[in-house]
Structure 1
Amino acid sequence: MEPDESLLPPLLVSKSYGDVIRKTWAFCPVTGSLLILDAANGVARSEHCPFSRPLSDLDDTMMVVTESNMDLFQRQFVLDPLLKTREQLEFEQLLKSRVRATVEEPCPRCKAPIMEYHTMQLRSADEGQTVFYECRQCRYRYSTNN
C-alpha cells in the first residue's frame, strides 16, 4: 500500500560528504516506525501497517558508518598512537623517571636482557611473595609465585 504522497510530511534532507542523504528513508511514512529490511523479497517493510518500498530505492541514499574504539584496537594489535594525549605523555615521563630493581632475565616477548621487577605479598604470610616482572623495552608483564 503506497500512501498518498500529498499527505506525507516532506523528507528531511541533509548534506553529508557531498551526497544527499534522505534521513527518513528507513522509517514508515504512515506509522513512523523503523522499516524492516527484507533482502529475500527485496523490500523494506513496516511491521505495523502494509507499507513497503523496494530496496532498490536505497541504492544511492544509504551511507554506512563504522565507529571503532581506537584504544581497544591499539591494545589488541599493540600499536603506538600517532598522536598522544597529554595524559599519555605524562604517564610515559613518569615511567621513565621510575626506578625499580632490575634482574638479568630475558624478556619472553622481545628478548631484552634486563627486566624490572617488584614484589607483593598477595597470599598468606606463610607463603612466598609474588614477583611482578616488566620489560623496559616492550612493557610486557608477567608474574611468578615464590
Structure 2
Amino acid sequence: MEKQWDREWMFSPISGALMEVDAANGVLKCPLSGYQRQISGLQDTSLHSQSDMQEYLNRNNFALAIKKPSDEPEKAVRATVDDDCPNCGNKGMEYYTMQLRSADEGQTVFYECRSCGHKFSQNN
C-alpha cells in the first residue's frame, strides 16, 4: 500500500531547494545547503503531480496575452530609404542588411520596392 506523504520531504528545510536523490547512499541531498535526509520510509511512496498552463499562470501571477491567428500573415516592418526604384521609378524603397561575406567586408543590402515589388541587392 502506498503511503501519502506531505510534499515537505521533497524540499530542504534550510534552503527550500528541491532535494536530489542519492540512492547509493540512501539519502536525499540539498544541492545548495548540503542538508541530507534518509530515504528510508519513502520506498513505497509515489508522487503524482498535475498542472496546466492556467494554474501555472495563476500561481505565479502571470497574465497571458493570447494572440488569435489572423488570415493575413504579418509582414515584417523594414527600414525605408528615399531612393527611386530602378524598375518603376517609385520613390521609397524598403531595405534590410545581412552579413553574407567575411566579417572584414561590408554587408549586403537588400532592397524591395513598396510599389511594384522589384527586388535587388547591393554589396557595400
* TM norm structure 1: 0.35
TM-score by length of 2: 0.41
Higher helix share: 1
